[in-house]
Each structure stands twice: as C-alpha cells, then as structure tokens.
Amino acid sequence: MISHSIFAIFLALISSAISETNDDILVFTVASEPTDGFQRYLSSAHHYHIAPTVLGFGQEWKGGSDIKNRPGGGWKINLLKTALEPHKDDPTKIILFTDGYDVIFTDTLDAILRKFKETKARVLFGAESSCWPDVQLAPKYPQVTEGKRFLNSGLYMGYAPDLWQVLTFDVIEDTDDDQLFFTKAYLDEDLRKKVGFKLDHKSEIFQNLNGAVSEVELFEVKAKEGPEEYKIQNVLYHTVPLILHGNGPSKLSLNYLGNYLANSWNSVEGCVRCKEGQFDLKNKRANEMSLVLLAIFVEFNTPFLEEMLSKVYSQEYPKHRIDLFIHNAMKFHSKHITDFIEKHGSEYRSVKDIKPDDGTTEWAARDLSLAQCLSKNCDIYFSVDSVAHLDNPHTLRLLIEQNRTVVAPLLPRPGKAWSNFWGDLTKEGFYARSNDYMDIVHNDKRGLWNVPFIANCYAINATLLKKFDETKLNFDRDNWDADMAFCANLRDLDVFMYVSNRVDFGHLVNPETFDITRVEPEMYQIFDNEQDWEARFIHPEYPENFNPEKTSLQPCPDVYWFPIVSPRFCTSLINMMENFGKWSDGSNKDPRLEGGYEAVPTRDIHMNQVGWEKHWLEFLRKYVRPLQEHVFLGYFHDPPRSLMNFVVRYKPDEQPSLRPHHDSSTYTINIALNQRGVDYEGGGCRFIRYNCSVVDTKLGWLLIHPGRLTHYHEGLKVTKGIRYIMIAFVDP
C-alpha cells in the first residue's frame, strides 16, 4: 500500500514536471487550406516553439458555406472530438484549441499554462462584448462586474476530461454553429459548475479583437541583449493577452498587429518574417524564369510617361519571359506607347495593346489583363500604372523573390505623405492612416507590411488567379475605383496584400496639375514633380559644378561657365517659344515693359508670355543661385529677383547681333539653347573691356557674369542658321 501511494506521489511529481515542460498540453486548430492567415498563424506558433495539430487540412470545409457572415463551424467541434477521444479520460492532459486563419500566438505555452492555472478554471473560453449568434441569449449570461460578458469559441482550453464533457454535452451537426453550441453549454448552470467552465473576461490569455480594437495596443519588451520584442497589452484591463484572435470585422487590426507580433519585425533586424518563403533567382537560367504578364495602364494624362516606360523596359528580367499588356485610354499618350512598342515590342514574348479608340474602360481593361495572364499561362501577374516609376531596375525580380501572393513595392510621392498603399481603412472602406504609416512612407521602418489597400504597382502569384475565377477576383464592385474594388475583393478572399520598403523601389509622379494644353507640358512640372523634372531637364553633370576638386571654368575674367540644363530642356524651351511665335519686333518700343522702352532691343519672347515665369524663377532659385554663390563669394540673395527673363533669337535676316551694352542686373545668365556648327554659324558673346569672346558655347551650358560696369559686352553676329539663348537679368 505504502509503496503504491509513494509511487502515486512520484507520478504526480513527474506529471507536474511534465506539464511544466508542456508535454501535457496539446494544441489543436482547424484549417482546411493554407491561406495567408494560416501561414501567419503557423509562423507565430513556430516562433514560440508551439506545434499545433492541424485538423481538417486538405479536406473540403464542411462547417457551413458562408462562415464569415452566417453561423456554422460545428465541423470544428466534431473534428476536435475525434482527435480528443484517446485523451478524454486523461486528467493530466490540457487541451488548447484555437481557430487557424485569424489567430496569432504572442507567447509560449509555458506562459499560457501558467496563466491558465491561475484562473483555477477547468475549462476556459475567450470572451467578447457581443452575444453572437443568438442575441436573445444575452440576458441568460451571468453578470460580470468587469470584463467581457459573452463567450467566443475561437480560443479555449481545458483539462481533457472536463473539456470532453463540454464537447459532448449535446450532439452537433457539421454545419451547426459551434459558438451557439458552446454558449448553450456555458449557460447550462449545472454543467458550468460541474466542469468549472469559465470565461476569460479580462483577456488574461485570450484576446478577441472584435469590439476591443481600441483596448489593444502593441508594446515593446526590451531585451537586455538583442532586439526588442512586440507584445500586446489590453489597456482597459491591464492585462497582457497571450493569444490574439481577429474575429469578425477586426481582421485589419489583426493584420496591423501581426506586422510586429511574434518577432515579425524589430528595430534591429528589421523585417524578420519577410525572409520566410523568399527565394533567389540569381542563378536561375533565363529560360526557367517565371512567365510574367506585365500590364501597363495609362488611364489619365500623366507627366513623364516616357521615363516611366523606359524604367519598365530597364527592369532586369528576360524580356522573352514577359508578355506585355498595355491599356492606354489617352490619345495624348498614343505616340509614347506607339514609340515604345515600335522600339521594344519585339523583344517581349508577346504584346497586346489596347488603344484609346477601343473605348475600353479601366475596369474592363484590368479584368482583361487578368484573363490575358491566364491565357498566356503566366506564373506572375505584374501590374504597373502610368504614375509608377520603378527607379530600381530589380523591382520585378525582388517582388517575385519575395514570394507572397500579392506584394507591392512602396512607391511614395517624393517628400510627400502620399503613397501607393493605405495603412488602414475607415468603416466605409476609404483611406485611414495607421500609426506606423508615416514611419513606413519615410522609410524610418523598413519591412514587408500587411496592409488593406495597395495600388499602382503590384505582383500577384498567378496561382491566385487560377484559384479564384473572374467572378471573385476582378476590379468591379459598386461603381468603386478599380483599385478599391480589387483590394476589397482581395480582403474578402482573405488574401493578404503586402507592401515592401525593404529597399527603395521607386516613386510616384503627381498627375494633378499636368496640363496637356501647354506645349511641352512637362516643363511646367518643376513644382509638382521636382525629381522627374530634374531628371529630364537638368544637365547630368550639374552636380559636378560643386565638386571641390574641380575649378570652375572661366573663359573670360569673371565670366563663369557651367553645365546646367539638358539638351531636352533646350529643345523643349525652343519649342515652347516657336510655338508661341510672337517674337518682339526688335524696335525700341516695347509695350511689355513698364516704361514701354527698350534701349538695346532683341528679338525675344518673355517667359511670362508663355506662362513660364514662376517656373523660371524657381529654376533660378534652385539651380542658378547656388552656382552664383559658388563663384561670386559673399553675395547672397534668396530668392533671386529677376524681371527680365526671355529667350533671344539671332537670325541673319532678322537680327543677327546685338550692339555693345551693359545689363541692368547684378549678374546676368545666358544659356546656350542650341549648337554652333550644328544649328548656326558665328554668334557668341564678346566682353569688350577684356577683348575676350566666348564663341564655342556649349549646349545647355550657362554663362554667368556681372551685369554692370566691368562687363560691357556685345552679341556677335550669327552668319547662318538660328541661334537661341536664354537670358535673365538677376537682381536688377
């Protein structure tokens, strides 16, 4: 007898030791397919060394056809019953059940077990603030003084024999509602008392997010060594829940929190979770690369479309593995598209080009592109809108290697809060800003972020297109924008949309002020698309002007010479002027001036006559002023003032030269807009005091010299062709 009881104590010691090391806690979940949410669940489990037994995997879901909106889920109970049968009499076994698609572990089983034992419950369910699916049952619930009153069946645990009693207190059909079943068990006072059935009212372990989103916050657990770890706290009950369930409409919050929890991200290693599933295409042979359907959408007039197309072309990916699909709705851009296809189309595997005349709507075109992807047997669908500039030539490859169902490169408007993703949504489905939105847009945090809305550029693994046909996955929904419709459909299908800023991918142009009634409309974009304006119109060697290793060119005393604008700028400006065409008549009478009189008249057009005055002043401020300060030290004037800004035309049979004169300026700038020996003969500028001429002017280069006293000068005779220069008298 004695030895037997000693043995029993010994066993109990062992079993308590075992339970401390988790051997006696069994974790179950139900998931029929590996959705993005289920992968996240497994990742979080893995991080905390939890190995759930997955029930129903690979089977057809039997728990009701519309589990999101209608009751169902009885199947989960029946699956669990079968799995528990062998353990039902084992009082040492603790069973933890969690839903699979919308759950994240935020701590270890040890922590869960410790908390569970503190509750003194034999069976413990999570709680929530609403009574579902049968609100009539609400009054039957015991009152609670603090905490959530109603049962939620997404998260629960208990000792095997006690839980078994609950699971078997009645029979349940697969399509019956599991939460209703457990609610009835809980409301059965005898059963509740008998098995020690409690609810986790204050989220000591189980946090159901629905109705509690504002109670739940991330917090950082600082480690002594190594990176911080993110956990959640319930700020209403001052608890630190250990398992998080994004039930009902709280999935977006779950996705947001999931970007951080279970060490998905930390400030030291950055994006930890994004390395999961990622692969490397570097050593893959060109012929084995995934087939890509690259869809380009030009749905409105867009500045710098030529550059956008050339960046698409520059993507380092074998073009014979890319099928092109282009929808252009804008006649203005027909030439750009045609040029692109003529030049490069034949390098691609195929080209489908839908023109403005077809009258295809954006919605239809986008739907068509998905169909085109399938008909070309694509592996990857890659969509790029006209505003999306993929400055990084590896964008496509990096997105494919990231291996997510849907992933977008982060593309911000430079220097602005605007980008191609939303961090959160309003209830109505519109833009809302998440707490971390600015950190992500400004790259203060880099990573791979699960977000509710992406647009303008994204890659989709085509298995998704095969899984959901065009009735489910399309761009149409209640007259919404195509993007909003598409993302709403993806959300409904529980497909995660990721946006990556692991590296810089590119930027968005701003089309809002693009005015195609202008000649050379991009020239007017110096304010709204500075970066693109600069790339197209500023001389590539401009930054070298400030290289301290270099001395500035000085062709004549105190006359400096700098590369400043690109050849494209020069032709654009000439084109603007010639299109306007109202050159002054070269007489002294000039109604454009305040006094109506010009002592040294030229044939010219003023910037304000082509609506380009404020743009020009911005150009002076941003690009000319620093050069002036660089060579004429100690003179600061910000912004530079300039009333006289114009393009001059020298032409043998019109006005070939200009007599010696002073300028009414502190300094004058003079930009050569075309080339001697190519466009004209003769010409140049002679500084009389020094008997020094600059004749071999260079395209897009600027001469800068003092205006008065020392630099009396003349315009030398053009003998053939037409010479154009751009002049400004700065700080008169």
Ligand X SMILES: *[C@@H]1O[C@H](CO)[C@@H](O)[C@H](O)[C@H]1NC(C)=O
Alpha-carbon distance 337 to 309, whole Å? 8
- Is 681 a binder of ligand X (CB under 6 A)? no
Alpha-carbon distance 321 to 465, whole Å? 19
Residue closest to ligand X (Cβ): 277
Q: How far is the CB of 692 from ligand X (least distance, A)?
A: 8
Nearer to ligand X, 403 or 608 (CB): 403
Alpha-carbon distance 101 to 38, whole Å? 5
Nearer to ligand X, 267 or 554 (CB): 554
- Is 91 a binder of ligand X (CB under 6 A)? no
Identified binder of ligand X from the candidate list 290, 474, 529, 674, rule CB under 6 A:
290
Q: How far is the CB of 556 from ligand X (least distance, A)?
A: 11
Which 351-410 positions form the footprint of ligand X (CB under 6 A)?
Answer: 379-380, 400, 403
Q: How far is the CB of 502 from ligand X (least distance, A)?
A: 16
β 658-661/642-650 pair status: unpaired
- Phi–psi pair at 544, nearest 5 degrees: -65, -20
Q: Which of 278, 261, 259, 275 is nearest to 445 (CA)?
A: 259
Sign of the dihedral defined by the CA atoms of residues 357, 363, 369, 371, in that order = negative
Provide the 10 A C-beta neighbour count for residue 477: 17
Q: How far is the CB of 39 from ligand X (least distance, A)?
A: 6
- Is 691 a binder of ligand X (CB under 6 A)? yes
Nearer to ligand X, 31 or 577 (CB): 31
Q: How far is the CB of 348 from ligand X (least distance, A)?
A: 19
* Structure-block tokens of residue 470: 């065009």
- Give SS3 for 305: helix
Q: Are 496 and 37 in contact (CB under 8 A)?
A: yes
Q: How far is the CB of 405 from ligand X (least distance, A)?
A: 7
Find the helix packing angle between 74-84 and 178-187, rounded to 10°: 70
Provide the 10 A C-beta neighbour count for residue 419: 23
Q: How far is the CB of 551 from ligand X (least distance, A)?
A: 23
Q: Are 545 and 652 in contact (CB under 8 A)?
A: no
Nearer to ligand X, 239 or 405 (CB): 405
Nearer to ligand X, 34 or 91 (CB): 34
Q: How far is the CB of 381 from ligand X (least distance, A)?
A: 11
Nearer to ligand X, 82 or 375 (CB): 375
Q: Which of 290, 293, 294 is nearest to 308 (CA)?
A: 294
Q: How far is the CB of 398 from ligand X (least distance, A)?
A: 12
Nearer to ligand X, 400 or 499 (CB): 400
User: Could you tell me how many residues make up the chain?
Assistant: 732
Provide the 10 A C-beta neighbour count for residue 21: 11
* CA dihedral of residues 567, 572, 573, 575 (deg, nearest 10): 130
Q: How far is the CB of 482 from ligand X (least distance, A)?
A: 24
Q: How far is the CB of 689 from ligand X (least distance, A)?
A: 11
Nearer to ligand X, 50 or 396 (CB): 396
Nearer to ligand X, 158 or 258 (CB): 258
CA distances from 98 to 6, 27, 153, 402, 594 (A): 38, 8, 8, 29, 81
- b/e per residue 281-301 (b: at least 16 CB within 10 A): eeeeeeeebbbbbbbbbbbeb
Identified binder of ligand X from the candidate list 13, 59, 82, 279, rule CB under 6 A:
279
Nearer to ligand X, 276 or 731 (CB): 276
Q: Are 403 and 276 in contact (CB under 8 A)?
A: no
Nearer to ligand X, 22 or 39 (CB): 39
Nearer to ligand X, 44 or 609 (CB): 44
Q: How far is the CB of 461 from ligand X (least distance, A)?
A: 4
Q: How far is the CB of 401 from ligand X (least distance, A)?
A: 8
Nearer to ligand X, 214 or 691 (CB): 691
Q: Are 391 and 302 in contact (CB under 8 A)?
A: no
Which 405-464 positions form the footprint of ligand X (CB under 6 A)?
Answer: 461, 463
Which 26-45 positions form the footprint of ligand X (CB under 6 A)?
Answer: 39
Q: Which of 151, 153, 158 is nearest to 99 (CA)?
A: 153
DSSP 498-539: EEE-SS---EE---TT--TTSSSGGGGGTTTSHHHHHHHHB-
* Structure-block tokens of residue 204: 């000591």
Sign of the dihedral defined by the CA atoms of residues 609, 614, 618, 621, in that order = positive
Size of the site for ligand X (CB under 6 A): 11
Which 599-638 positions form the footprint of ligand X (CB under 6 A)?
Answer: none
Residue identified by tokens 């053939």 is 720
Nearer to ligand X, 292 or 718 (CB): 292
Q: Which of 160, 52, 164, 157 is nearest to 115 (CA)?
A: 157
Identified binder of ligand X from the candidate list 91, 142, 249, 277, rule CB under 6 A:
277
Q: How far is the CB of 467 from ligand X (least distance, A)?
A: 10
Q: How far is the CB of 382 from ligand X (least distance, A)?
A: 11
Alpha-carbon distance 657 to 661, whole Å? 12
Nearer to ligand X, 266 or 290 (CB): 290
Alpha-carbon distance 143 to 147, whole Å? 10
Where on the chain is the footprint of ligand X (CB under 6 A)? 39, 277, 279, 290, 379-380, 400, 403, 461, 463, 691
